[in-house]
Amino acid sequence: MATIAKTAEWDARDAASMRAVLDAQRASFTAELPVSAATRRDRLNRALDVVLNHKDRLVAALSEDFGHRSTEMSLVTDIMASVKPIKHALKHLDAWMKPEKRKLDFPLGLLGAKARIEWQPKGVVGIISPWNFPVNLTFAPLAGVLAAGNRAMIKPSEYTPVTSQVMKEILEASFDATEIAVITGGPEVGKAFTELPFDHIIFTGATSVARHVMAAAAKNLVPLTLELGGKSPTIISRSADVAQATERVAMGKLMNAGQICLAPDYLLVPEEKEGEIVEGLKAATAKMYPTMLANPDYTSVLGARHRERLEAHVEDARAKGADVVVVNPAGEDFAKQNTNKMPLHIIRGATDEMTVMQEEIFGPLLPAPRAGSHHLGRGHGERRDLPRLRRRSALWWHRPGRHGQLSRPRWLQAIQPPQGHLQPAQDRSGQSRRLQAALWREDRQGAGA
């Protein structure tokens, strides 16, 4: 009982402390209005310096949190991917701040009225970042927040505590607490964080957690930007170049050990090509990772908790009749390791009843449902589970037909329109524009109206 009381006391302190930071940021924000381009540019440049000057420290922290993480991959997916949005914001800042003229309805124009949109900052934005790319998914939204003239409170994931602490230290060394504050802690702190009356919240993470975030934000009518996971099917048609397609699928699935929201979640293939495609995946994996346990380029699953969750999916699939192909090129013993690395598991004959087909996988497991072409085209587009999880993207491989037209079977036509050899269903640049628009308040002014 004493433990519960003490926990509640600490939770109350955390909530009060966070509210004090929010109030201080909001007061400072209000006093500074209007936020000049020079001020915004200064903050963006400081954020850029934070990433570049501490990149080695951040990469080391990421590897420590994961148990092992490829240095080159961290530099590309977390460091470079953080630098790019900041530089993009610096390049386009003046254009984003420029007022936009608008036409008026009759007869307001005859009365001498004029209308324009002036983009105004919202205030204090809460950023809740996940563990799979903790640096990138903190600094990328932060670029938009600072460019829009806002202040930021950041809650990084408790599953990457070393990286979270490093980000807290390096940001606090370059920014006043009224500009950017980093709040670390576990689920209780995260819960209190989402209940604060922010002017906007940006959340990246699991759909299940997003429901709680959205419910907490609704109490204060806080608008949200949610970037959530889902089941991402990968479709290989009968006309595809199997060697090329499987090489790309293996690369996408094994980057960051499959812990990417856009990683291929499951395979949809014609029945008669399944064996050839499985062999292609095995060959592609062996080419990229001849060994895995001691390979510095092969990333570990984040912690025993996530490894055990993935292993439970595999055992559930086996118990329900799936044929599990473990792709272990060097025949290594993964039971004897100090990390949480896992080889690729291809789950042939996966069904909707298996847990691996009911949740976002986030790991090196690749189910391949065994079904006829009609089921591939329509059944998977209308499955009872997937609409709730959201098909985040769909990728397909095929060859062009005559006269440059795409030659696709009917089951493929039912899933995606013909737009190219590799077509993500979600446009990342479009997502960036939507996020940017959400962080600027649209203020319509009609002089003389």
Query: For residue 68, what is the domain's CATH number?
Result: 3.40.605.10
Specify whether 240 is located in the same domain as 165. no
Residues of the domain holding 146: 28-228
Tell whether 18 is covered by a domain. no
Lowest-confidence segment of 66-70, 360-364, 379-383 by average pLDDT? 379-383
Tell whether 95 is covered by a domain. yes
Query: For residue 280, what is the domain's CATH number?
Result: 3.40.309.10
Per-chain mean pLDDT for the chain: 85
Specify whether 181 is located in the same domain as 135. yes
Tell whether 436 is covered by a domain. no
Q: Which residue is catalytic, options 261, 274, 359, 360?
A: 261
- Give me the mean pLDDT over the 35-53 stretch: 98
Specify whether 305 is located in the same domain as 334. yes
pLDDT in tens, 193-227: 999 999 999 999 988 899 999 999 999 999 999 99
**Structural domain ending residue among the three candidates 180, 206, 228:** 228
Is 271 part of the annotated catalytic residue set? no
Whether the predicted pLDDT of 415 surpasses 50 = no
**Using 50, 70 and 90 to split pLDDT, how confident is the model at 396?**
low
**Using 50, 70 and 90 to split pLDDT, how confident is the model at 178?**
very high
Whether the predicted pLDDT of 3 surpasses 60 = no
Whether the predicted pLDDT of 408 surpasses 90 = no
Specify whether 189 is located in the same domain as 164. yes
What would you report as the CA-atom Rg of the chain, rounded to the nearest whole angstrom? 24
Lowest-confidence segment of 133-147, 294-308, 317-331, 407-421 by average pLDDT? 407-421
pLDDT in tens, 10-30: 566 788 899 999 999 999 999
Tell whether 8 is covered by a domain. no
Tell whether 217 is covered by a domain. yes
Q: Give the residue with greater pLDDT, 180 vs 2.
A: 180
Tell whether 172 is covered by a domain. yes
Q: Give the per-residue pLDDT at 395.
A: 58
pLDDT in tens, 114-137: 999 999 999 999 999 999 999 999
- Give me the mean pLDDT over the 394-421 stretch: 42
Specify whether 223 is located in the same domain as 358. no
Specify whether 217 is located in the same domain as 261. no
Specify whether 282 is located in the same domain as 413. yes
Specify whether 141 is located in the same domain as 51. yes
Q: Give the per-residue pLDDT at 231.
A: 87
Q: Give the per-residue pLDDT at 289.
A: 97
Is 227 part of the annotated catalytic residue set? yes
Specify whether 284 is located in the same domain as 398. yes
Q: Give the residue with greater pLDDT, 277 vs 424.
A: 277
Q: Give the per-residue pLDDT at 336.
A: 80
**Structural domain ending residue among the three candidates 228, 245, 271:** 228
Q: Give the per-residue pLDDT at 437.
A: 47
Give the number of domains in the chain.
2
Whether the predicted pLDDT of 413 surpasses 60 = no
Tell whether 19 is covered by a domain. no
**Using 50, 70 and 90 to split pLDDT, how confident is the model at 400?**
low
**Using 50, 70 and 90 to split pLDDT, how confident is the model at 439?**
low
Specify whether 290 is located in the same domain as 188. no
- Give me the mean pLDDT over the 285-303 stretch: 95
Q: Which residue is catalytic, options 179, 195, 227, 360?
A: 227
Specify whether 299 is located in the same domain as 395. yes
**Structural domain ending residue among the three candidates 228, 259, 285:** 228
Q: Tell me the two tokens of residue 428.
A: 């990342």
Specify whether 218 is located in the same domain as 248. no
